[in-house]
Amino acid sequence: MNPFIELGIRHDIVNAISELGFENPTPIQEQSIPVLLTGSNDFVGLAQTGTGKTAAFGLPLLELLDFEENHPQALVLCPTRELCLQITNDIKNYSKKMHNVNVVAVYGGASIMDQLRQIKRGVQIVVATPGRMLDIINRKAIDFSRVKYVVLDEADEMLNMGFQEDIDNILSTTPDDKKTWLFSATMPAEVRRIAKKYMDNPFELTMGEKNTGNANIEHEYYIVRARDKYAAFKRIVDFNPDIFGIVFCRTKIETQDIAEALIKDGYNADSLHGDLSQQQRDKVMKRYRERSLQLLIATDVAARGIDVNDVTHVINYSLPDEVENYTHRSGRTARAGKTGVSISIVNAKELGKIRQIERVIGKKFSKAEIPTGFDVCEKQLFSIVHKVHNVTVNEEQIEQYLPRIIEEFKDFTKEDFIKRFASIEFNRFLDYYKNAPDLNAGVEEGRSRDRDDRAPRGASSGPSAYTRLFINLGSVDEFNRGDLLGYICNTSKISGRSVGKIDVKGVYSFFEVPNEDVEKVNAGFAGAEYKGRPVRIEVSGEGTSDRRESSGGYRGGDRREGGYRGGERREGGGYRGGDRRDGGNNRGGERREGGGGGFRDFSGKPREERPERRRRY
């Protein structure tokens, strides 16, 4: 018998979840479904994200509610819009073979009128973020007087985000005899308090040790000097060619800087933070979900509720300010029974924080060594070999070219051919890493570092004199930073690597170049026109900057010239090989075209991020 039937789930739901690939219940489902199906308990489930908790409460709700009645009977509160949509979607999928099931998602940042209309039409399950829910309650547009079940999902996150008061107000509109089911990844005192406040002798279920992270996650840390952090990070990424990761930074600025530096250096990355408009966030998330992006650089707040399976690595570029956030971050990997690695790049002074996290999650970190340049080259080589071995050949398309290709290689032995083929990519890595230093902290000071492993803006890197230039083109000419970088490099023939901060305004923009390149830029733009208008470059009155704003980086050019990542981008979102045409300067521009990453205009509406109360180290 299907194990879900044994748990008490009816056939039409089991048929639907079988189509989703649910063959066996996850541990939390196995243990909570029988309890929740009784409908007579309050419930506290201590479980990480990715353990299958949505079905753990969603399936019992579908069993318990009366879908002949069309009024709100269950309310699920969760911290973020992403999670809200995810839960709504999941419940719709579980119930797709049932009749008259109406689920509505209520969340901020979308039309309230649509949501009100859906509520008016009749709904049994409301899945909501607290702010918007309260708004709708205050408009007297919903009647919760017959709610039987309230689910508080990711309760710790909701409290972290300052939703305590909203939750109180929302729950005060529901009947006293409803049952409350609370799920939380961690159990800080605040969550204990709300459990006590809203629940009557709840059934408690702890999956694994209290506060322990998912058992399938390996925790690693690398010790590097602060100034080598970015280079070390890139090396870790290069050592993991198939990485599909989320990189956590502490601030929006750091998030954006790291993403920009990575994009400049040819990585398939983009950022997710609270200054992006909802539309921009959705776009980034869509690309990440579709795997057009390989690295998502995010703040804690922005990454809440991200539910993407198959994330291979979580990288803590900076450790979180609050210990609890580490659990949330690392819980983004190893979902649905998969394994994953949570990496922290720290300096020697931060070791104390690692020990503190170990105590909270009840698990030991292993200390890892930043791979040497040789290690990276070897890993990349075999990754190429593996890809060549496994590539799907389009027989029909390639056939017409085969005679010419065979003719070209007629004098090659098989070995010659293999060596050359593998070397196309391998040489780039060899060149890049040939003088790569040991980046593990503890190596003798004063040893020369790889000149091109420069840190991005914000990280400490050697000052270098820059001049800020004015240009009479801006967003009204439909330039964003990527376009402008491409345009500047093409016109002045300077390397994208040397361009520092770019500030796109309406009818004009500013950009920084090394002092020694100012002449070259002036010469390049002499007589230049843009759409029939003379282009004017002037040294900005704001003077020079000695801050090294640009990430530098060596890889962009290399990858552009046919790197396999470029190939991936092509698949992911229309990377047009056209950039190879331009001889190597138009870095930002070409990445913009690629499905993977690109400079963006980050001037979206600031998203409200709530004040947070957390435990600090």
Residues lying near ligand AMP in the complex (CB under 6 A): 21-22, 25-26, 29, 49-55, 307, 309, 335-336
Nearer to ligand AMP, 29 or 491 (CB): 29
Distance CA 534, CA 295 (A): 39
d(Cα 38, Cα 30) in Å, to the nearest integer? 14
Helix (H, G, I), strand (E, B) or coil at 179: strand
- Output 51 or 380, the one with its CB closest to ligand AMP: 51
Q: For residues 479 and 132, what is the distance between their CA atoms, to the nearest angstrom?
A: 35
Chain centre distance of CA 428: 28
Greatest CA separation found in the chain? Answer: 85
Rounded least distance, CB 78 to ligand AMP, Å = 11
For residues 236, 241, 246, 250, the Cα torsion angle rounded to the nearest 10 degrees is 30
Q: What is d(CA 382, CA 573) in angstroms, rounded to the nearest whole number?
A: 26
Question: 213 vs 266, which CB is nearer to ligand AMP?
Answer: 213
Instruction: Report, in Å, the least distance between residue 21 CB and ligand AMP.
Output: 5
CA distances from 298 to 245, 247, 256 (A): 10, 6, 8
- Placement of tokens 């170990």 in the chain: 358
Torsion region of 201: left, alpha or beta (phi above 0 gives left; psi -120 to 50 gives alpha)? left
C-beta of 8: minimal distance to ligand AMP in Å? 15
> Could you give the 3-state DSSP secondary structure of residue 133?
helix
CB of 430 to ligand AMP, least distance (A): 40
* Residue 471 CA to its chain's centroid (Å): 34
Nearer to ligand AMP, 83 or 136 (CB): 83
Instruction: Tell me the closest approach of the beta carbon of residue 152 to ligand AMP, in angstroms.
Output: 15
Nearer to ligand AMP, 21 or 446 (CB): 21
- Whole-number minimum distance, CB 17 to ligand AMP, in Å? 7
Distance of CA 106 to the CA centre of its chain: 23
- Strands annotated E in 413-475: 466-471
What is the spatial distance between Cα 263 and Cα 258, in angstroms, rounded to a whole number? 9
HEC assignment per residue over 22-82: CCCCCHHHHHHHHHHHCCCCCEEEECCCCCCHHHHHHHHHHHHCCCCCCCCCEEEECCCHH
Beta carbon nearer to ligand AMP, 7 or 261: 7
Distance of alpha carbon 202 from alpha carbon 196, whole angstroms: 9
Nearer residue to ligand AMP within complex by CB, 29 or 102? 29
Cβ distance to ligand AMP smaller for residue 313 or 555: 313
Report the distance separating Cα 441 and Cα 461, nearest Å: 16
Output 308 or 441, the one with its CB closest to ligand AMP.
308
**Smallest distance from ligand AMP to CB 53, Å:** 5
Q: Which is nearer to ligand AMP, 71 or 289 (CB)?
A: 289
Q: Which two tokens stand for residue 527?
A: 């007589």
- State which residue, 47 or 269, has the beta carbon closest to ligand AMP: 47
CA dihedral in degrees (93, 96, 97, 101; nearest 10)?
120
DSSP 8-state secondary structure symbol assigned to residue 21: T
How near is the Cβ of 513 to ligand AMP at its closest, in Å? 47
- Minimum CB separation of residue 214 from ligand AMP in Å reads 10
Q: How far is the CB of 60 from ligand AMP (least distance, A)?
A: 13
Q: Smallest distance from the beta carbon of 136 to ligand AMP, in angstroms?
A: 25
Place of tokens 């639907």: 16
